[in-house]
Amino acid sequence: MRMGDWGMAGKGGRPARRGNGGRITLALSGDVMTGRGIDQVLPKPCDPRLHEGYVASARDYVALAEDANGKIRYPVDLAYVWGDVLAARDALAPDAWIVNLETAVTRSDDHAPKGINYRMSPENAACLAAAGIDCCTLANNHVLDWGLEGLTDTLATLPALGLKIAGAGANAAAAAAPAIIECGAGRVLVFAFGSPSSGVPLDWAATAERPGVNLLADLGEESAETIAAQVGAARGPGDIVVASIHWGGNWGYAISLQKRRFAQWLIDAGAVDIVHGHSSHHPKGIELYHGKPILYGCGDFLNDYEGIRGYEAYRGDLVLLYAASFDAGAGALRAFRMLPFRVRRFSLVRASPEEAEWLAGMLARESAPLGVAIERDRDGVIAARLS
C-alpha cells in the first residue's frame, strides 16, 4: 500500500474485510489514550474534575491543545479523533487491528491516588468501534485508575461494543486468556501482559478471586517458558500469535539486554509471531529476529498531550500505525510497514513529507544496531527491509 492510495478519509465503523491473497495482515498501534481531554470533546464526557497536582479539570488539556494548534469545535463526532487513519485503514484492510487502550472506560469516581488518572465515558467508548479496532489490550498502568468499579465497567463496555479484550479480567484466568480474532485466512491470538517496569502497581495483579491485570512478574527465561506453555495450550495450526507487553518508561531510545533476551526467548520457543511492545511515548527501534518482528516501543498513537512542554526532541506528536503481513498457515513475514501520522487538535492527520522523513531517519538510526534497515517510499510509507 502506498500513501497515495489512501484517498478520501473513511467514514468510520468496522470495514468489510477483503481477501488478502493468502495473507493475514495485522495493524498494530501503541497506547491509545482517549480519556481526559479527548473524552471532553466527544459527545458525552465524564465529569471533568481531576485529582492532579497542577491541573484541576480535563478541560484544561483541551485548552492546551487549542493554544498549540487552534480551536477544536466540539462536541466532535465519534470518528473525528481518527482523522486520516480511517482512509489508511480502509486501504490497508487489516484482518485485525490491535491497540493498547490506556484508559479506563467508566464514570466511577473512585480514583487511585497516583497523581494521574485516565478515564473516558462508556458512551464515548463507541469511538473505538467507529475506528474499526478489533482488540484492546488492557494490561497497563491506567486501566485501574478508577478502582475496581472502573475496571469492571471497562470489561463490560468493550465487549458490548464488539471489541475483543486481553490482559485484564474478572480473575487471573480471564486476565491471562487470549483474545481470539477469527479472520478469513485463520485466527489471530492476542496475549497481553503488564510489566511493573511500566508503572503497573503490584496490587493490580488479578488473582483467583480478584479482578485485575495479567501481571508479568519479571523478564526471566522461566517467565518466557510459562508464556510459551500458555500459548501452546491455546494455539492451533496456522494461528498467528501476538504477545502484547506494556513495559518500560516513557522516554528514551535505549533497549535493555533483558528486554531483547525476553522477546527472543518467546520467539525461540515458537510461542509468538510478533512482540507488540508499548509504554514509551515515542517509537523506538525495531528488530526482526528469525523473521519475527519485535516492536520494543510502538510509541503513543493517540493522547491529549498537545501543548505540554518538555521532551520535544522525541517528537511525541508523530505517531505510527504498524502493519505486519504474514503468510496464512506458514506464518512467514512478508511485509512490515509503518504509516506516519501527527496528532493535531486531538485528531490524527497524515504526517508531512518532512515529518515522515524525520520518523524514517530516527527508525533507521535506532533499528540499525538491531540489524534492521529502514526504507521510505516517496509517498511516506516506511518499511523494514526483509532479508
Question: Would you say residue 181 lies in a domain?
Answer: yes
How many domains would you assign to the chain?
1
Q: Which of 368, 202, 353 is nearest to 285 (CA)?
A: 368
Of the listed ranges 4-18, 60-74, 140-154, 171-185, the least confidently predicted one is: 4-18
pLDDT band at 147 (very low <50, low <70, confident <90, very high): very high
Which one has a higher pLDDT value, 380 or 212? 212
pLDDT in tens, 39-88: 999 999 999 999 999 999 999 999 999 999 999 999 999 999 999 999 99
Question: Would you say residue 251 lies in a domain?
Answer: yes
**CATH number of the domain where residue 162 is located:** 3.60.21.10
Question: Would you say residue 5 lies in a domain?
Answer: no
- Residue 120: predicted pLDDT: 98
- Residue 3: predicted pLDDT: 46
pLDDT in tens, 248-261: 999 999 999 999 99
Q: Which three cell numbers stand for residue 108?
A: 466511577
Question: Would you say residue 119 lies in a domain?
Answer: yes
- Residue 7: predicted pLDDT: 45
**Contact by Cβ (8 Å): 244, 278:** yes
- Residue 6: predicted pLDDT: 45
Those residues whose C-beta lies under 8 Å from the C-beta of residue 172, and which sit 6 or more positions away, are 205, 206, 207, 208, 212, 214
pLDDT in tens, 257-316: 999 999 999 999 999 999 999 999 999 999 999 999 999 999 999 999 999 999 999 999
Question: Would you say residue 4 lies in a domain?
Answer: no
Question: Would you say residue 15 lies in a domain?
Answer: no
Percent share of the chain, pLDDT over 70: 95
- Residue 105: predicted pLDDT: 99
Q: What integer is the mean pLDDT of 373-385?
A: 94
Tell me which residue range forms the domain holding 36: 23-384
| Mean model confidence pLDDT for the chain | 95
Reported pTM: 0.96
Q: What integer is the mean pLDDT of 140-160?
A: 98
Question: Would you say residue 3 lies in a domain?
Answer: no
Question: Would you say residue 6 lies in a domain?
Answer: no
pLDDT in tens, 108-126: 999 999 999 999 999 999 9
